[in-house]
Every structure is written in structure tokens, then in C-alpha cells.
Amino acid sequence: MPASGELAPPAPRRPESVLVVVFAATGEALLLKRRQPFGFWQSVTGSLLEGESHAEAAARELREETGFGDEGELAFTGRRRAFVIDPRWRHRYPDGVTVNTEYEWQFRLPHMREPVINPREHIESRWLPIDEAIELVWSWTNREALRELKASL
């Protein structure tokens, strides 16, 4: 139990997350630049909260990270990928957990619009042609999701 005035450590994360690729009907993808632990580019991402479905998590993370909601179409692609959790983040998960399952979602906007980013999580946003976004993102799962999007447009 933390001493009076101290914050309790956060509960361990579920080893399940969402990746939401935000794109415009004209073919550009939105990327966000992380603040911590280092500045890398990514689509919208986030862990599922206790008792939350991946559909609920996708809508919540989209709203929290971009301010977007009803102005576009959020759809599950049916794809999920398992990846080894980066050692820099393993302390956030229960002991012994090394693999995360990520559910892939897409959010289609009729046209590009500026997101309202959360400055605690991201320092910049950028709309890019999909090929440039593929080259810029940090994670292999994000590259795969962008490649799948490109193939479907």
C-alpha cells in the first residue's frame, strides 16, 4: 500500500492492444509522433482496458489520440497480429508476459482534417501518402497494416 500522498503503481496492462490506421478517402494516412520513450512515428495505438472489447478500445484510443469520432467510419479489418513486447515496455505487463495480440482497425475520413493530439502522448502529427507512411512507421505491424490498406484502395 503506498504511503499517504503517494500514487499507487498502475495496474499491469493486458497483453492485447489495438492499432487504428487513420486515412483519408484521397489516400493519405495520418501518423503521430510519440513523445516517450523516444520519438517514433505510428498510427493510433493503445492497450485494452480491463473488461474492454477491442472495438471499444479502438473507438476510445481514436478519440483520445486524435479527437476523431463520428465524422468517419471505424471498421475492424478482421486481422490480428501477435508480436513480442519490446523489452523497454515489458515492465508494464504481468510478470512473464512477452507477447501481445494487436487488433487492426481502420478509420476512414472523407477528407484530411487536423487531429487534436494529446501532448502527453504525441508531439506531432502528419498526413502522408501511404508509401511514405509505410517507410516512416517504427513497428512492423504498423507497416503491414498500411500495406494492407494500400492494397485495398
How far apart, in Å, are the Cα atoms of 139 and each of 9, 74, 119? 27, 22, 21
Residue 118 to residues 53, 82, 88, 123, 127: CA-CA distances in angstroms?
Answer: 22, 27, 22, 8, 17
CATH architecture of 16-152: Alpha-Beta Complex (3.90)
Question: Which residues, in sequence order, are CB contacts of 122 under 8 Å at separation 6+?
Answer: 32, 33, 34, 35, 65
Residue 3 confidence (pLDDT): 57
Question: Distance between CA atoms of 108 and 24, rounded to whole angstroms?
Answer: 6
Residue 1 has pLDDT above 60, yes or no: no
Domain boundaries along the sequence of the chain: 16-152
Let me know if 23 is exposed, middle or buried by CB neighbors in 10 A (0-12, 13-18, 19+): buried
pLDDT exceeds cutoff 90 at 5: no
d(CA 112, CA 54): 25
Which of 78 and 7 is assigned the larger pLDDT? 78
Q: Over the stretch 69-123, which tens digit does the pLDDT of each residue have? A: 989 999 999 999 999 999 988 999 999 999 999 999 999 999 999 999 989 999 9
> Is the separation of the CB atoms in 149 and 106 below 8 Å?
yes
What tens digit of pLDDT does each residue of 125-136 get? 999 999 999 999
- Alpha carbon 96 to its chain's center: 23
Cα angle, residue 137 at apex, residues 28 and 63 outer, rounded to 5°: 65
19 contacts 104 by C-beta, under 8 angstroms? yes
Mind listing the pLDDT tens digit for each residue in 13-46?
999 999 999 999 999 999 999 987 778 999 999 9
Instruction: Kindly report the backbone phi and psi dihedral angles of residue 123, in degrees, each rounded to the nearest multiple of 5, phi listed first.
Output: -110, -10
pLDDT at res. 9: 74
80 phi and psi angles, rounded to 5 deg: -140, 145
